[in-house]
Every structure is written in C-alpha cells, then in structure tokens.
Structure 1
Amino acid sequence: MKIAFVGKGGSGKTTLASLFARHAADAGSRVMALDADINQHFATALGMDPETAERHPRLAEYMSDLKTLLRGSNPRIPNNDLMLKTTPPGPGSTLLTLEDDNPVFEAAFSRIGDIRFAATGGFDTEDLGIACYHSKVGAVEMILNHLIDRTDEFVVVDMVAGAEAFASGMFTRFDHTFLVCEPTLRSVGVYEQYAAYAADYDVNIAVIGNKIDEDDDIEFLKRHVGDDLAAVVGRSRYVKAAERGVVGPISELEPDNRQAIDRLHRCATTATKNWTKFSRQAHEFHARAAKSWGNDRTGSDLTQQIVSDYILGPHLLPEV
C-alpha cells in the first residue's frame, strides 16, 4: 500500500508517519519510507542519528540515474531528456519493488532498523530564487509511478505541508492519504481545502486527530471532519522524548496511542488496491503535463509515451 501523510505544518504529520512506519515494520510488513517534505526530519523521527541523517544521500542527486533505470528499453522514451516526472511506465520500462536491488536504490537508500529509507533532499541555499521544490520530489513521483507494492507492504511518504501536494499529480499516487489534524480551525481548514481539491479524484482520505487533550477536542474534530475521523492520538511522553532525540522501541508508545496507530494500520491492510485507477490517473496527469509544458520544452509529443492498456500491477512481475 502506498500511504501519504499530509497536514498543516506543525500538525505532527512527520511524527505520525514515523509511528505508522515503525508500527507496520514491527508487525512484520515490508516498509519503505520516503521523505518528500521540504523540511527533512523523517529520518530522525524514524530513529536515525541526526549527523547521519545530515550526510544521507539525496534522491534528487540521482535523478539522471533514476531516469535511465526506469525507462529501461521502453522504445517510447529513447533518452532521459524525454522523461518527465509524470512519465508512466510502458512495455520495456523497469518496474520496482520494495526489496528491489538496483544501483539507484543501493546508492540512495539506507536501512533504519527494518525500514528502507530515502530522502529527496531539502531546499538548499543554491536553490534560492531559481528552483522549485517540486522538482526535487520528482524522484519520489517517478518511483511511485513504477513501484509495484502489495497490500501487506507499505510505502510511507511524508509529504509537503498543507495543500502544496496539489502542485503535481502526486496526490493521486496513494492508496490512502492520512491527514493529520489538530483540534484547531487552521488545521481543519487544511483538511477542508485538501478534501475539496481531492473530491474529483477519488482520493481516499482519513483524518488522524493529533495532540488531543480532552473529549472536547475530539468533538471539535468530529463536527468539522465527520466520518473521515479515523483515529485520535493524545499528548505523548514517548513522542516528546523522541523529539528530544530518544527514540524508544515502538512497543513503549502509550497503549491508547498505539491502538490508534494500529487502527490506521488495519484500515490500510484491509482495503484493496485499484491498479486500474492508479494507471488511468498516471496517464491523465502525464497528458496534462505534456500539453501544458513538456511538449514545448522537449519539442516532442510526450503524450505518445502513454500506452492506455498498460495497467501497472503484480501481474507484470516475473513469477518466482
């Protein structure tokens, strides 16, 4: 399952994403964690030493290698210059799995316990005034477009804050979108904005109430998000310790809070994947990107890269 964690800046989405990823790994699932936020804190939330996290490779540095890997022998993408972050796979493309062994994964990923982790890289000084952060998260979008995951596996992505995710079609790349929401008007405002944008794209949104102190907080969220409220997480000494650099075993998370995370885990594992919708939306957003700027930039009709009956899914993987 491909899982996104979104929410207002400061709502605790990175913390909740790390708790979900660690809980799923502890339960025996294969887990890949991807940091696609402009503020890169996912690694340390998962338990990586801050100095190691600072030196960690960045996916954005391997964009050219990633394009070469993914286009494979696809005749519709003869060179890297014709591959956008939205380019969907087709016959000859290289397809990925969570345990894939390839040069890009070997260079850009590491292990944090049982979790396979990679980061896009933050917004650097040299980017100021000349670069858009969404160009960096393009590597994540390309990986998601070519990744075949199963229902008992999890790709957990810590996304940019607020509605910034809608600057590209990446918001459609997930089986579940967990929106972390504090019991405040500003936070539920982000939920309302996100839900409105996502309404036309069949995005599966569930709300996690965070920083809950009392029953009134829960009632406030229920009034604003209704049945989308899937779980609530209270104030946590465990989380406070983790934010101070002491990341204990996930089993030490307070029982009520761990039950909340387990509720999200069960919600994700009991759903079914819709590969047809996933592929259709990949084709749709690639066509948009091609027509709005890609064709002009490359001098080619990039919509010809779309193979409409090529549906991603486990049926494309070799039998073992």
Structure 2
Amino acid sequence: MRIAFVGKGGSGKTTLSALFSRHLARSGAPVLAVDGDINQHLAEALGGEEESAPPLGAHLPEIKDYLRGDNPRIPSPEAMIKTTPPGRGSRLLRPLGDDELHARHVGRAGGVPFMATGEFDESDLGVACYHSKLGAVELYLGHLLDGPGEYVVVDMTAGADAFASGLFARFDLTFLVAEPTRKGVSVYRQYRDHAEQFGIRIAVVGNKVTGEDDLLFLKEQVGDDLLTHLVHSPWIRAAEQGRAGSGPEALASLEPHNRHALEVMREAVDAEVRDWERLHRHAVEFHLRNVHAWADARTGEDLAAQVDPEFVPGPAARS
C-alpha cells in the first residue's frame, strides 16, 4: 500500500512519516520510506545510523532506461517523461525486490529501508524545478506492483505543492498532518478541494494537540476527515534531539496515546482496497495532460502513443 504524508511546513509531517515507518518496521512489516520533500530530513527523523544510497533524482535517465525495459512504445530514455505509464515490456517492480533499482538506491536509516529523492542543491537554483527530481518517485510508483501488507511511505513536499505533479494521485491513502491552528488547517482545505475531483481519500491526523480545546478546534474545522491525533510528546522532542534511542524498537517508549494513534493509522491503511483501475486511469490522465501541455513540443514526439491500451496493471501483470 502507498501512503503519502502531506501538510503545512512545520506541521510535523516528516516526523510522523518517520514515526509511522518505524511503527510498521517494528511490527515486522515490509516497509520502504521515501523522502520526497525538498527539505531532505526524513533520514534524520528516522534516527540511528544512516547507510546512504545514491538519490533517485540524480539518476533519472538511468532509472528511465531501466524501467522502460523492452516496451516498444518507448524507444529511448529521452522519450520517457515522469508521467509515462508502464505497458507491455516495461520492467515492473516488487517492493524491495531483487532488482537493479532497489539494489542501487535503497539504503537504511534507523533500521528502516529508505530511498531519497535528493536535495535541491545550488546547481539547481534558478534553472531547475524540484518536481523534476520527484519524477523519479512518480515513475517508481507507476511501475510498482505492491500488495496488501507491503508499505511504501512517502514524505511529500510541504503545502499544496504536491499538486504540481500527478504524484498526489498515486497513493492509496494520504495522511494530512494538521496542527490545531487556522494556518494548520488551511492546507487541508486546499488538499480536500483538489482531491475530491479525483476521488482521493484524505485522512487528517492532528498533531501537537495539547488539550480538549485543540481537539475540538480540529473537529470543527475538518469534521469526519479527522482520523486520529497525537498529543504533545516529550518522547518526540527527545528523539528530535537524539536522546530517544534509534531503531524501530525505540518506539516502545513512545507515549501510549501516540502509539495508539499510529495503530489507528495503520488500521486505516489496511482497510483500504487497492483500486488498480483508478490508479491507472489517473496515471494515463496526467500523462496526457503533460503531453498536451509541454512534452510533445519539448521532445518532438507523439507521447500519447506511449499509452498501451492493452496493458492492465495489477497482480495479473506480474506474470
């Protein structure tokens, strides 16, 4: 299952992405944490020693070449854009599978398998868009055949920036982390309005809640979209200062209410039923939008022809 964490900058979405990933890993579930934020702090939030691996965004041409495989509709990596959907002949991936992409780009942080998009560095200033780096994550998810009990957790860019690409439509569930403030819920309204157009489910997770007034405020502002909340946490503060121990097992000392909130979140994810048809329909739709907006003109090719009408994503595509 694919889970996105979004929210206003400073809401705690990276912290909760890390906590949720560690919670899953502690249970023994296969989980991959992906840092898709322009501020690359997820590895640090996961805690412990980091075994780094090359970032995805720095190797986008090689990733494209690998994923296109023998798909005759994609003659070269240059003809492949971030929204290009898979088709017959494409290389399809299993989460943390025994393949070239995972072998090269998966490291570990705090005992959790981890991939990074890569920093927006000085050479990018004024000439590049961070969403071009996110294209590697979009292609990865587009070619991924994950199933129930397998988790890919992506820490997304802050605010509503995630809507600048079709990446926001590639998840089974999006957790929107909101503080109990007017600014904290403003991003929720933006996300809700955009997501409703595509049938994308949002679950709000309140964060930094200090009492009943905070909780009542969130309930009034987001209604039934409020799934659960985390209370102010000395353990999280200690973890951010490097004093709470490393590895998934350190979560045993997290406050009981906050551990329960993480379990509520997992139950919500596990209750989702993968809609392969919806995921593929959105992938094709956003690909065609990009094709008509800029990609055909930039590449000089008819990229709408990359859509394979006979390809059906899902478990059947594994054979």
The TM-score, its normalising length taken from structure 1, stands at 0.96
Amino acid aligned to 2:156: M
CA displacement at 1:247 relative to structure 2: 4.3
CA-CA distance at 1:312 after TM superposition: 1.4
Answer whether contact 2:228 2:265 (CA < 8 A) is retained.
Answer: yes
One-letter code aligned to 1:144: L
Q: Which residue of 1 aligns with 2:28?
A: 28
Q: Report the 3-state secondary structure (helix = DSSP H, G, I; strand = E; otherwise coil) of the residue aligned with 2:203.
A: strand
CA distance in 1, matches of 2:75, 2:242: 47
Which 10-residue stretch deviates more, 57-66 or 212-221? 57-66
Deviation of 1:208 (Å): 0.2
Tell me, in whole angstroms, the C-alpha distance in 2 between the residues paired with 1:200 and 1:114. 38
Is 2:228 aligned against 1:231?
yes
Aligned to 2:14: 14
Is 2:57–2:134's contact at 8 Å kept on the other side of the alignment? yes
Name the SS for the 1:208 alignment partner.
Answer: strand
**Distance in 2 of aligned mates of 1:282 and 1:247:** 41
In structure 2, runs of 5+ residues without a counterpart are none
Given residue 151 of structure 1, which amino acid in structure 2 is its aligned partner? P
**Deviation of the 1:102 alpha carbon:** 2.1
Greater than 3 Å deviation, 4+ residue runs? none
Q: Distance in 2 between matches of 1:221 and 1:24?
A: 26
Specify the code of the residue in structure 2 equivalent to 1:2.
R
Q: Quick one: percent identity of the two aligned structures?
A: 50
Kindly indicate whether the alpha-carbon contact (under 8 Å) linking 2:96 and 2:102 is maintained by their aligned counterparts in 1: no
Instruction: Tell me what 1:283 maps to.
Output: 284
Provide the C-alpha distance between the structure 2 equivalents of 1:214 and 1:62, rounded to a whole number of angstroms: 46
Partner letter of residue 34 of structure 2?
L
Map Cα deviations across residues 267-307 of structure 1 (whole Å, 9 max, x no partner): 10122100000001100000111111111111111001112
Whether the 8 Å CA contact 1:231–1:260 is kept in 2: the answer is yes
2:268 is the counterpart of 1:267:
yes
Instruction: Select which of 171, 187, 191 maps to 1:190.
Output: 187
SS at match of 1:107: helix
The C-alpha deviation readout for 1:113-166, integer Å capped at 9, x for no partner, is 553211011110111111111011111000010011111111000000000000
Distance 1:267 1:73 in 2: 38
- What residue number does 1:306 align with? 307
Mapping of 1:31-46 within 5 angstroms?
Answer: 31-46=31-46
RMSD over aligned Cα atoms: 1.3
Are the equivalent residues in 2 in contact too, given 1:95–1:146 (CA < 8 A)?
Answer: yes
Q: Which residue, 121, 143, 148 being the options, matches 1:146?
A: 143
Residue 246 of structure 1, CA deviation = 3.0
Farther off after superposition, 23-32 or 137-146: 23-32
Amino acid in structure 2 at the alignment position of 1:278: L
In the alignment, residue 19 of structure 1 is paired with which amino acid? L
Deviation at 1:109, TM superposition (A): 1.2
**What is the match of residue 295 of structure 1?**
296
Gaps of at least 5 residues in structure 1 are none
* 74-83 or 94-103: bigger deviation: 94-103
The corresponding residue for 1:218 is: 215
CA deviations 1:34-70 (Å, max 9, x no partner) are: 1000011101111244xx57x6521112211111110
Asked if the contact 2:48/2:110 (under 8 Å) is kept, the reply is no
Q: Which amino acid aligns with 2:102?
A: F
Distance in 2, Cα, partners of 1:29 & 1:118:
17
Letter in 1 for 2:149: D
Residues 113, 45 of structure 1: CA spacing in aligned structure 2 closer, same or farther, 3 A cutoff?
closer
CA distance in 2, matches of 1:127, 1:3: 28
The separation in 2 between residues aligned to 1:164 and 1:240, in whole angstroms, is: 27
Q: What secondary structure is seen at the aligned counterpart in 1 of 2:273?
A: coil
Secondary structure in 1 matching 2:197: helix
Q: Secondary structure of 1:233's partner?
A: strand
User: May I ask how many residue pairs the two structures share in their alignment?
Assistant: 315
The answer to whether 1:91 aligns with 2:92 is: no
Pairing of 1:75-154 with structure 2 (within 5 A)? 75-112=72-109, 115-154=112-151
Greater Cα offset, 22-31 or 170-179: 22-31
SS of residue in 1 equivalent to 2:195: helix
- 2: CA distance, partners of 1:114 / 1:31: 11
Change over 3 Å in CA distance of 1:240–1:313 after alignment to 2: same
Letter in 2 for 1:216: D
CA drift of 1:316 comes to: 1.5
Decide whether aligned partners of structure 1 residues 269 and 134 sit closer, same or farther in structure 2, where only a CA change above 3 A counts. same
Equivalent AA in structure 1 for residue 314 of structure 2: G
